[in-house]
Structure 1
Amino acid sequence: MNLINLRNKKLLAEYFRRDPFLHLYSLGDLDNFFWSKTTYYGVLTGKFVDKVVLVYRGGEMPVLLVLSQPGQIEKEHINQLVQLLPDQMYAHLSPGLETLFARDFSIQEYGDHYKMSLENPDPIFHTSTKNTIPLTKDDLPDINSLYQLSYPDNAFDPRMLLTGQYFAYRKGGRLISIAGVHVYSATYRVAALGNITTHPEYRKQGYGRAVTARLCQNLLNGVDYIGLNVKCDNQSALSLYESLGFLILAKYGEFSLKKRG
């Protein structure tokens, strides 16, 4: 069965909703806010799609998402996919799939990550969010300053401020903690948290917990699925998210891929 470019949102959404937390980014990127930057490849069988992967071109480098249950994506599908991919990209791959790209790409690893899903929102509503504030484009200089100092390898896209899903804490007028989203769709009722950080001088004092809880409280007014990605060895972040009601759902790896030759 051949991989083809898929542009039927209804069929794609049905496929991603079979495993919504695993495919949270791909489902949210069906939203018109992201749609023009996406390319979905998959197999079409009658009125159903399968083995769907996403190439997202919204940043400096394309991002490939190949996320699946064990055995779902096979070597023949990767061999077809390789012919359709850009020469260089960042990639999120389910465990073991990176070996199927090794013949055609040089691969640099960026570590194992967990996908987490919000399963119990009770702790979020029992967390004080006093003095947390929403952010707008007017806050962009302060946002960039905090990220440069505290999270230089962030994937912040200023356009995401338009979603209204960025919250922060200021102390003495200084932005010291922030939580936002990588993906948000009211249409598809999903959100992926991201770009969460606290100034090094103010960590372990509850500010990150407060802004993350405020963000989730706001999101729960309009979405059904809230998830996030976190590096497996980031124990402080894992502990925070678990204390807020998130559970580990799946494991995947992050890589950069560059075509050989």
Structure 2
Amino acid sequence: MGITVRRLEDRAQIYEVLREDRLYAAYAIGDLEPALFPDCEWYITSRNGRATSLCLSFSGLSPDRVFLMGSPGDLEAIVGDLLRTRRAYFSCRPQHLAVIRRSYSLRKTQVMLRMLLDPEKFSPVEGAVIRVGPSHVELLQDLYRWYGNVAFAPYQLEQGVFYAVESDGKLVATAGTHLVSRTYGLGIVGNVFTHSDYRGNGYATVCTSAVVEELLSQSMDVVLNVEESNLPARQLYEGLGFEVYCPFVETLGVRGGLAGRQVRMRD
């Protein structure tokens, strides 16, 4: 029996596929939350009634985010023919890169690590931090402008968990979450940044510790991403108790002028 390609809109069906590797698929699972789901397009391939691959295209950030899991060969039927985004950050396993390259020019490819925290190994670090809420959004955006490459949107502040160090009425260091899925019990730590004038004081550590502590208090699985080559950040996270779960790849793809094959979709 051949391959079947479908677009899925039922969250329960999508989660059944994602839960096969729940921690690798953490971001995609977070996008099942009602506030984010309208910005998603989900496609799966199947053979003999069993899902073999999945693709998520998320338009809630700029550029779009695309997540891939499953059989590289079967993903070609989605990435090559159905994925409509022209420019996107891909998150995938290394073996998926060849599939993406057939339709996209790749730039800024980075090897990443997904890290997981065992609650019993959490080693908190105390410090003077404040809980950051929607009223702090302008101060937080001012801080992130110093970095210039933070994937932050105000909805993350409204729906997530953020802490910061304050000095003279300004936020000088912060840590937060990329996603919080209370439905599925996942908290994804991210957006960690310290102003260059305030580095070396352990501020990023105390902010991250506070975020993790709140997520654990809600009985969530806590994960994060870090570049494999970013040794200082890895040491920070390892000091709090995080361990490597799996490697993956992030890359920016710009779609080329390749004509896709025609694929028959089933309703």
What TM-score do you get using the length of structure 2 for normalisation? Answer: 0.88
Q: CA deviation digits over 1:1-38, x for unaligned, max 9?
A: 22211122112223222322100001111111211111
Contact 2:160 2:178 in 1 (8 A): no
Farther-moved stretch of structure 1 (233-242 vs 194-203): 194-203
Distance (whole Å) between structure 1 residues aligned to residue 237 and residue 76 of structure 2: 34
Task: Tell me the residue number matched to 1:257.
Answer: 253
Task: Tell me the residue number matched to 2:262.
Answer: none
* Structure 1: segments with no counterpart, 5+ residues: none
Matching residue's letter, 2:15 = A
Map 1:39-54; keep pairs closer than 5 Å.
Answer: 39-44=41-46, 49-54=51-56
SS at match of 1:152: coil
Indicate yes or no: 2:166 matched with 1:143. no
Contact 2:4 2:47 in 1 (8 A): no
Of 5, 8, 16, 1:6 maps to 8
Q: CA deviation digits over 1:164-187, x for unaligned, max 9?
A: 511111123321111111111111
Matching residue's letter, 1:82 = G
Task: Tell me the residue number matched to 2:94.
Answer: 95
Matching residue's letter, 2:103 = D
SS at match of 1:33: coil
Farther-moved stretch of structure 1 (95-104 vs 232-241): 95-104
Distance (whole Å) between structure 1 residues aligned to residue 220 and residue 49 of structure 2: 26
Map 1:1-261; keep pairs closer than 5 Å.
Answer: 1-44=3-46, 49-67=51-69, 72-85=70-83, 86-124=85-123, 126-128=124-126, 130-149=127-146, 151-261=147-257
Contact 2:132 2:163 in 1 (8 A): yes
Matching residue's letter, 2:75 = H
Matching residue's letter, 2:16 = E
Q: Kindly state the Cα deviation for residue 76 of structure 1 after the two structures are TM-superposed.
A: 3.8
Runs (4+) of structure 1 exceeding 3 A deviation are 44-50, 120-124
In structure 2, relative to structure 1, the CA distance for the partners of 1:95 and 1:29 (3 Å cut) is same
SS at match of 2:137: helix
Aligned-CA RMSD value: 1.9
Distance (whole Å) between structure 1 residues aligned to residue 48 and residue 209 of structure 2: 43
Contact 2:52 2:71 in 1 (8 A): no
Distance (whole Å) between structure 2 residues aligned to residue 16 and residue 76 of structure 1: 16
* Structure 2: segments with no counterpart, 5+ residues: 258-267
Q: Percent identity?
A: 24
Distance (whole Å) between structure 2 residues aligned to residue 220 and residue 63 of structure 1: 27
SS at match of 2:21: coil
In structure 2, relative to structure 1, the CA distance for the partners of 1:165 and 1:46 (3 Å cut) is farther
